[in-house]
Amino acid sequence: MRLFLLAVLTGVLAGCSKGDDLKSAALSVKVHYEGFRPGCVSLTVTDQAEVSRHVTTNVNVSAGPPPGTLSVAVFRQAGWSNDVRVEASAKEQSCDGAQVATAQADASLAKDGITPVELSLSAMDSDGDGFVRLEDQGTDCNDRDANLGGPKAWYPDDDNDGYGNLQLPAKITACEGPALTASRTGDCNDRDSSVHPDQTEFRCDGQDDNCDDVKDESFDVGGTCLNDVQCPGAKVCANGGVACNSTVTPTAYYFDEDGDGKAGADGGVTCGPPPSGTVAEFSDCDESSVYVNKGLPEVCDRLDNNCSGGAPDEGLIGCTYGWLGSSGGGGQPRWSAIAVGQDVAWLAGEDTSNNVLKVQTTVQTPSTCAGGWSAAWVSATGQLFLAGTGGKLASKTLTQSDCTIVTTPGSNAELTGIVGFNSTDGSPPTLYAVSSNGFIFRWVSGSTPVHIATTGINLRAVHAAGGPETMLAVGAKDFGVTDPLARAVRFVSPDAPWQEESLPAGLPSTFLNGVHVVSANYAYAVGNKGIVLERNHGVWRQVTSLPSSVDLTDVVAFGQKALYVTIAQTGAIQFFDGTTWTSVYSNARALRALDASSPTRIGASGDQGVYQFFYRP
């Protein structure tokens, strides 16, 4: 029979019947520990008369700081002598941990009654982490840091992300691991340092990024969604993120940008409600021109008016582009200015007799307006307005034999450009004139001109479409130097300075001589050295220019595919269809000015009385 051991954690065993010859004979063993708390205490009792007779009991120690005491009762069994040896050994952490302290005592069991035995275990665990310092045969890697316990298992960590390979066993158990090992395991892809446990799924890629055996759980793959154009679809992985994959074709919408009543400008695509101001029908192939859309008849004007996609003017019988007028000659005035209205055209020029010419169909009526005139504008009623040398402005009605002249205040510089705006209530039009010294004037016919702006630019031309808010003036900053810098300025409001525009970088030194505003979205400017510029939605760019050997004096535009320019050196008119320049008129005498009221009513004028008109009914 062996001894029967019983751990009593809350006191000393009072007694227990074990048979007639074993009546209550027992040891009351108290095991004291200090400096540490064992994870387990092993108590071994050996019969001293026969050491082969021994028994061991393991007692798990409850949590709590040291010091502490365990109480164990030992009962004598048949066949054992009265003399025994009691030994206690303390283990770190658990009964399988390192043995850090031992104590033993010899005792004799009385025939009856309880014999006390006291054992003391001592070791040091300074940081209270349950691991004993190395000096006491413990395994604490740093007994001053409770966060550092005993040796750890270190697993292969080839991607050095702090997590060992899930598929491989530990390389070593130690306080510190070698390079490319980690004390944590669970890495399901040890070739990618961004993949490891203890993180959210961070990319949608069909892979398990946090090693929880679930792929892309953070991204609701397959869930319903709306894509960027509001079409329904399902969520899919795309480039590490989530995209909405839709098989629904959105509807394309268009808006009317040029104000001709037909829509062709890109209004976007969507499966949702139509964007404000758009329609689903495409009916305008050129939103830069009011003379082109699917509802218009084809007209002989070099434009694809009906958006057929074929050659301009297709199907028209007898469509020719002949020019009517005078080729000029000796003794005739230089026509520096031309203004083309709906039913009348005016020419004006140098300070000579008969320096104003009214042209109505084939009837030409000359008259004299004292002064030299550089620019002209005609109102809706056919009234002529002139700007010229000495800061002079003039007006002349269809029936007036002479002209009315006024002088701008504060400047005798040449007025180089003029543009006007018809009133809607029958009152006189409002005009704006620009000068070579950078002044800008506002003039209401019948009143005194007002100086409204000083730009510091040698201005050469001004133009607008619809209202003053579209007005642009062009010229150059020269200040007497040989390399003028092309400049353009824009009207902002009646009370604000005109704002200088940002022109394309890399332009050669040149003057801008002419400007034509098609709409708020499109304008064109031309200058010396063959320069042609387009202002597209507020941004200037250089378009296909003419040879640098020619100076362009003026421009008329009806959209991106219909530009006319005049040339000083060759007396030619060139036409641009959006791709190619073509000569449409040529004369040996320089052309100075160009104007039009529509693509079928165009006029040009120049030196020694030359002027040409392209008229269509």
Residue 273 maps to a domain: yes
Task: Say what the pLDDT of residue 530 is.
Answer: 96
91 near 54, Cβ under 8 Å? no
Q: Residues 378-393: pLDDT tens digits?
A: 999 999 999 999 999 9
Which among 22-36, 315-329, 596-610 has the top mean pLDDT? Answer: 596-610
CA 512 from chain centre, in angstroms, equals 35
Residue 150 maps to a domain: no
Judging by beta carbons within 10 Å of its beta carbon (0-12, 13-18, 19+), is residue 494 exposed, middle or buried?
Answer: exposed
SS3 292: coil
Q: Provide the β-strand partners of residue 459.
A: 475
Task: Say what the pLDDT of residue 412 is.
Answer: 84
For residue 386 the two structure tokens come to 């002139």
CATH number, domain at 88? 2.60.40
Domain boundary among 272, 301, 317: 317
CATH number, domain at 522? 2.130.10.10
Residue 37 maps to a domain: yes
CA 466 from chain centre, in angstroms, equals 34
Query: If you count DSSP H runs as helices and E runs as strands, how many of each does the chain have, helices first?
Result: 0, 44
- Least trusted range by pLDDT, from 335-339, 399-403, 479-483: 479-483
pLDDT over 60 at 77, yes or no = yes
Q: Residues 124-139: pLDDT tens digits?
A: 999 999 999 999 999 9
Residue 363's CB is within 10 A of a number of other CB atoms, namely 8
Q: What does the pLDDT average to over 410-432?
A: 93
Computed over every residue of the chain, the mean pLDDT equals 91
Give the Cα separation of 253 and 270 in Å (integer).
8
550 near 581, Cβ under 8 Å? no
pLDDT over 60 at 4, yes or no = no
Q: What is the DSSP string of 493-543?
A: -TTSPPEEP-PPTTPPS--EEEEEE-SSSEEEEEEGGG-EEEEETTEEEE-
Task: Say what the pLDDT of residue 112 is.
Answer: 74
Task: Say what the pLDDT of residue 124 is.
Answer: 95
Percent of residues, the chain, with pLDDT higher than 70: 95
Q: What is the DSSP string of 317-365?
A: TT-----EEEE--TTPPPEEEEEE-SS-EEEEESSSTT-EEEEETTEEE
Residue 87: name the closest of 102, 107, 72 by CA: 102
Reported as a pLDDT band with limits 50, 70 and 90, residue 24 is low
Task: Say what the pLDDT of residue 426 is.
Answer: 87
Task: Say what the pLDDT of residue 8 is.
Answer: 44
For 39, residues 6+ apart whose C-beta sits below 8 A from its C-beta are 60, 61, 91, 92, 93, 94, 95, 97, 130
Reported as a pLDDT band with limits 50, 70 and 90, residue 36 is very high
pLDDT over 50 at 145, yes or no = yes
Reported as a pLDDT band with limits 50, 70 and 90, residue 78 is confident
Domain boundary among 282, 317, 352: 317
- Residue-range definition of the domain harbouring residue 111: 4-136
Residue 269 maps to a domain: yes
Reported as a pLDDT band with limits 50, 70 and 90, residue 495 is confident
For 340, residues 6+ apart whose C-beta sits below 8 A from its C-beta are 378, 595, 596, 597, 601, 602, 603, 613
Q: What does the pLDDT average to over 38-42?
A: 94
Q: What does the pLDDT average to over 195-214?
A: 94
Residue 465 maps to a domain: yes
Residue 478 maps to a domain: yes
Q: Provide the β-strand partners of residue 533.
A: 525, 542
Domain boundary among 270, 285, 317: 317
Q: What does the pLDDT average to over 424-450?
A: 95
In terms of DSSP bridges, do strands 499-500 and 485-490 run parallel, antiparallel, or are they unpaired? antiparallel
pLDDT over 50 at 3, yes or no = no
Task: Say what the pLDDT of residue 415 is.
Answer: 97
pLDDT over 70 at 505, yes or no = yes
Reported as a pLDDT band with limits 50, 70 and 90, residue 13 is very low
Residue 367 maps to a domain: no
Residue 415 maps to a domain: no
Number of domains observed in the structure of the chain: 3
